[in-house]
Amino acid sequence: MMNRRTLTSLLTAALAAGLFGKVAFAQDLQDITFVQPSPSAINSFPVFVAIGEGFFEDEGLNVTVEAINGSGAVLQALSAGQAQFGRPGPGPLIAARSRGVDATHIYNVAARSNFGIAVQEDSDFQKIEDLRGKVIGTGTADGAEVGFARNVLTGAGMVEGTDFEFLTVGDGGPATAAFLNGEIDAYSASTADTAVLNQRGMKVRDITPAEFGRFFGNGIATMADTIANDRELVEAWSRAFAKGHAFALDDANRDAVLAHLAAGNPQEGEDKEFQAALFDAVRSKTIAAGDSPHLGWYPAAVWEEWQEALVAGGEIPGPLDDLSVIWTNEFAELGSAGVGK
Structural domains of the chain in order of their starting residue, each with its CATH number: 29-111+216-339 (3.40.190.10), 115-214 (3.40.190.10)
Phi, psi of 299 (to 5 degrees): -85, 125
Q: Is the pLDDT of residue 257 over 90?
A: yes
The average confidence (pLDDT) of the chain is 90
- The predicted structure's pLDDT at residue 272: 94
- In the structure, what pLDDT confidence band is assigned to residue 143 with cuts at 50, 70 and 90? confident
User: DSSP string spanning 113-165?
Assistant: --EEEEEETTSS--SGGGGTTEEEEESSSSSHHHHHHHHHHHHTT--BTTTEE
The pTM for the full model equals 0.82
User: DSSP string spanning 23-68?
Assistant: HHHHHHSEEEEEEESSS-SGGGHHHHHHHHTTHHHHTTEEEEEEE-
Residue type, 113: S
Quick: pLDDT tens for 260-287: 999 999 999 999 999 998 999 899 999 9
Neighbours of 279 (CB within 10 A): 22
Strands annotated E in 87-190: 103-107, 115-120, 134-138, 164-168, 186-190
- The predicted structure's pLDDT at residue 17: 46
Quick: pLDDT tens for 170-214: 988 899 999 999 999 999 988 888 888 888 889 999 999 988 988
β-strands 186-190, 164-168 pairing: unpaired
Quick: pLDDT tens for 109-136: 999 888 899 999 999 999 999 999 999 9
End-to-end CA distance of the chain: 55
* Of residues 196, 71, 46, the one with CA closest to residue 145: 71
Q: Is the pLDDT of residue 62 over 50?
A: yes
β-strands 30-36, 85-86 pairing: parallel
Contact residues for 193 (Cβ-Cβ < 8 A; gap 6+): 118, 139, 145, 171, 172, 175, 187
Contact residues for 285 (Cβ-Cβ < 8 A; gap 6+): 110, 111, 112, 113, 114, 191, 217
CB 111 within 8 A of CB 216: yes
- The predicted structure's pLDDT at residue 25: 46
* Torsion sign, CA atoms 101, 106, 111, 114: negative
- Percent of the chain residues topping a pLDDT of 90: 75
CB 234 within 8 A of CB 242: no
SS3 of residue 104 by DSSP: strand
Q: Is the pLDDT of residue 6 over 50?
A: no
Q: How many helices (H) and strands (E) does the chain have?
A: 14, 10
Phi, psi of 313 (to 5 degrees): -85, 0
Q: How many CA atoms lie within 13 A of 272 on its CB side?
A: 5
